[in-house]
Structure 1
């Protein structure tokens, strides 16, 4: 059985990760505090306990659960920091920034980056924020493979 069939809600880990991302995106200043405290607050402790519980009940060994929590937390924090520092937040911003890069991009020297911008980023419906879910799915799939 996959990890998803063991959790109380099919998307329990995904929901917790997305929730953590949403909260941290609103309070990016908190990222530095969360892991630097010697005495974490009760909300942080409950969050870690809930994630560990889902993983342990899904059959992860204690060391694998520890690796998983570290990986998931690092991914969330890294994504939040990257998003906070991107010079774009809306589709119009993405188009403006990508278009500006494309104007000065030597396509013959950087063909793959040109292709990425033209054939992916500037396509209708592109949403850079959806990359979070895709990456989280990859992490969860890899963890599931290691759990077996």
Structure 2
């Protein structure tokens, strides 16, 4: 079969990244190779290397595209509200790009949006009275919650949550597991498991703990 080729001089870095994002979103990172990307864009593989030198450079740039989607907190707002907006933004973005879970915080050469986003969070925490050490712990705890929840969300969606809670309950023998049976009965009438509600509850708990980290530790008190 003949591969359709893009017209000459139509390839740009933006088009390369858009194609890579589409490929990763639809098929996952394992499917994102230079050859597969070139096929999708209708160009020769060597054309891709003009815009990204290596697969790792492509991932660095692709992660930066995701960071561009995220809310960047400012020091003009109340720190809990700003972190809440950022957390919900990250949660939403990871829902659109589940492949990013494994690479968002692991880039050796982070891009400008990546660095700016981290700087903004640390600036917010520092301005709110967190010490450098307390800010580091706060950031780690909050991201652990966000990424951990997103991973759980992705795993549940990967097995198909179109099945109702009643069908799941009826497909298991819970006669020796009364707590699980009670939980299954509670959600049997629901259309879907309330993941978003659980995220908001968990985020509130995480932020309450982070506030104590500041006020009870070596950061400034209110």
TM-score tier, shorter chain, comes to: 0.7 to 0.9
User: Which residue number corresponds to residue 188 of structure 2?
Assistant: 122
Given that 1:56 and 1:62 are in contact with CA atoms closer than 8 Å, whether structure 2 keeps it comes out as: yes
- Counterparts of 1:76 and 1:101, CA distance in 2: 26
With the length of structure 2 as denominator, give the TM-score of the two structures.
0.56
Residues 75-98 of structure 1 deviation map (CA, whole Å, 9 limit, x = unaligned): 111111211121345xxx3xx342
Q: Name which one, 1 or 2, has greater alpha-carbon Rg.
A: 2
Structure 1 residue matching 2:210: 3-state secondary structure = helix
Which residue of 2 is the match for residue 84 of structure 1? Answer: 154
SS at match of 2:103: helix
SS at match of 1:18: helix
The 3 A distance-change label for structure 1 pair 7 and 13 is farther
- Larger relative helix fraction: 1
RMSD across aligned positions (CA): 2.2
Kept in 2, the 8 Å contact 1:105–1:114? The answer is no
Q: How far is 1:40 from its partner?
A: 1.0
Cα distance in 2 for partners of 1:88, 1:117 equals 17
**Residue of structure 2 equivalent to 1:8:** 77
SS, match of residue 98 in structure 2: coil
Task: Name the residue aligned to 1:146.
Answer: 213
Unaligned runs of 5+ in 2: 1-74, 216-222
Match of 1:133 in 2: 200
Per-residue deviation, 1:33? 2.1
Higher relative contact order (CA 8 A, sep 6+): 1
State TM-score, norm by structure 1.
0.80
**Structure 1 segments unaligned to the other structure (5+ residues):** 1-5
Matched residue pairs, number? Answer: 137
